[in-house]
């Protein structure tokens, strides 16, 4: 944890300022082990292995802990790098461009292992704070500690330990895995200053009926309950189906016979998947099978989120015909 992060932190319970009350260990400019305390209510929070901890995994609700744990395992095991990540990230953030980050205080709701936190830092954010509930913060911290403007915090998105001091908040692929996606969105938006902006990318209800009908029962009743190393192996089988279809059918069909390809089942998405290699596809399939909680949200419902925060100039963009990118000013 970098000391300047203190200016952005606030007690998740009373909103009080956070002070550094004891430092156990510094490593270069990082505070590695320490105790933080709330100026107002005097509650204490620890910094462990460089990450301030505002969430007690023993006390948070069971389903949230389960989601965090399942994704946490994945994020510490899928650590491959891919130059396509930046393009993929920008696809989810539409219409935001890298220049938008310049000199802004940025908040990421659900940073996983910090891939997007790094990109935001590299694109010139003044400070970027990545928040995650899961053990993936360990990887996120390692991946971002060399970046002077990047910070990782372990906390619950519903109880963010932050001041209302951000110019921009974003959350990609996370809100729909919380028990109440709209409430999580509102919580994130509550940390953005007037005149700031927010982006969210969520699974769409439209075109995903096949997932809600066929994949959800398997995920809820079986794959989110088995241990992850087993699921990791088992998920290679459906990945093989997706991999072969996307590489041998969708990609060639879209390059030689586009008008015909349009009629293929789920064409935009599977054609897009065809641009990824085996490991990234495996990652995506695993993602759909591992989460105990997943909501698929309609455009109509998504629009009500933005109305609730009185957002101006909202843009809601249909992405790969299976998900929604939202962007709006506050
Ligand atoms: Zn407090």
Give the long-range contacts of residues 238-247, CB within 8 A, separation 24 or more.
238/285, 238/289, 239/278, 239/281, 239/282, 239/285, 239/286, 242/270, 242/273, 242/281, 242/285, 243/278, 243/281, 245/270, 246/270, 246/271, 246/273, 246/274, 246/281, 247/274
Q: What is the pLDDT of residue 139?
A: 86
CA–centroid distance, residue 15 to ligand 1 (Å)? 6
CA–centroid distance, residue 180 to ligand 1 (Å)? 25
Q: What is the pLDDT of residue 83?
A: 61
Decide if 129 contacts 107 (C-beta within 8 A). Answer: yes
In order of 263, 287, 296, the CA distances from 259 in angstroms are 8, 31, 29
In order of 27, 124, 127, 141, 240, the CA distances from 2 in angstroms are 10, 17, 11, 11, 43
Cα 189 from chain centroid (whole Å): 15
Element counts in the chain: helices (H) and strands (E):
14, 11
Strand bridging mode 312-319 / 105-109:
unpaired
CA–centroid distance, residue 9 to ligand 1 (Å)? 11
CA–centroid distance, residue 14 to ligand 1 (Å)? 4
Q: What is the pLDDT of residue 72?
A: 67
Q: What is the pLDDT of residue 312?
A: 83
CA–centroid distance, residue 38 to ligand 1 (Å)? 5
**What are residue 18's DSSP bridge partners?**
38
CA–centroid distance, residue 53 to ligand 1 (Å)? 14
Examine residue 95 and say whether the peptide bond preceding it is cis (omega within 30 degrees of 0).
Answer: yes
Residue-level pLDDT, tens digit, the chain, 330 residues: 999 999 999 999 999 999 999 999 898 889 999 999 999 999 999 999 899 999 876 555 666 667 766 776 666 555 555 567 888 899 999 999 999 999 999 999 999 989 999 999 999 999 999 999 988 898 899 889 999 999 999 999 999 999 999 999 999 999 999 999 999 999 999 999 999 999 999 999 887 777 777 888 888 888 888 888 899 999 999 999 999 999 999 988 998 888 888 888 888 888 888 888 898 889 888 888 888 788 999 999 999 999 999 998 899 999 877 899 999 999
CA–centroid distance, residue 156 to ligand 1 (Å)? 16
Question: Mind listing the pLDDT tens digit for each residue in 160-211?
Answer: 999 999 999 999 999 999 999 999 999 999 999 999 999 999 999 887 777 7
CA–centroid distance, residue 222 to ligand 1 (Å)? 40
Q: What is the pLDDT of residue 262?
A: 83
CA–centroid distance, residue 5 to ligand 1 (Å)? 17
DSSP string of 105-138? EEEEE--TTSHHHHHHHHTT-SEEEEEESSTTHH
pTM: 0.84
Q: What is the pLDDT of residue 51?
A: 94
CA–centroid distance, residue 84 to ligand 1 (Å)? 42
CA–centroid distance, residue 42 to ligand 1 (Å)? 6
Torsion sign, CA atoms 140, 145, 151, 153? positive
Calpha distance 122→100 (Å, rounded)? 12
CA–centroid distance, residue 21 to ligand 1 (Å)? 14
CA–centroid distance, residue 240 to ligand 1 (Å)? 50
Q: How many CB atoms lie within 10 A of CB 203?
A: 21
* Three-class DSSP category at 172: strand
């Amino acid at each position: 944890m970098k000391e300047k992060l203190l200016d952005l932190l606030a007690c998740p319970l009373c909103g009080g300022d956070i002070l550094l009350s004891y430092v156990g260990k510094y490593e270069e400019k990082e505070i590695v082990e320490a105790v933080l305390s709330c100026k107002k209510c005097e509650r204490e929070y620890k910094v462990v292995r460089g990450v301030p901890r505002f969430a007690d995994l023993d006390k948070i609700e069971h389903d949230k802990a389960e989601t965090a744990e399942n994704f946490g395992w994945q994020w510490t095991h899928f650590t491959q790098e891919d130059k396509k990540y930046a393009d993929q990230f920008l696809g989810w953030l539409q219409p935001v461009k890298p220049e938008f980050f310049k000199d802004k205080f940025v908040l990421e709701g659900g940073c996983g292992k910090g891939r997007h936190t790094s990109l935001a830092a590299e694109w010139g954010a003044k400070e970027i704070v990545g928040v995650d509930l899961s053990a993936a913060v360990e990887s996120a911290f390692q991946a971002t500690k060399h970046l002077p403007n990047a910070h990782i915090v372990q906390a619950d998105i519903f109880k963010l330990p932050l001041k209302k001091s951000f110019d921009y908040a974003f959350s990609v692929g996370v809100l729909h895995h919380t028990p109440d996606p709209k409430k999580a969105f509102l919580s994130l938006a509550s940390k953005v200053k007037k005149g700031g902006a927010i982006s969210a990318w969520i699974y769409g209800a439209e075109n995903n009926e096949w997932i809600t009908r066929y994949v959800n029962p398997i995920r809820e009743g079986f794959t989110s309950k088995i241990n992850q190393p087993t699921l990791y192996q088992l998920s290679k089988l459906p990945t093989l189906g997706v991999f072969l279809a996307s590489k041998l059918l969708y990609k060639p069909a879209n390059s030689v016979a586009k008008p015909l390809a349009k009629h293929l089942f789920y064409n935009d998405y599977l054609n897009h998947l065809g641009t990824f290699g085996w490991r990234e596809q495996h990652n995506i399939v695993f993602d759909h099978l591992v989460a105990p909680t997943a909501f698929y949200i309609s455009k109509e419902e998504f629009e009500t989120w933005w109305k609730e925060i009185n957002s101006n100039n909202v843009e809601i963009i249909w992405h790969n015909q299976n998900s929604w990118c939202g962007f709006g000013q506050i």
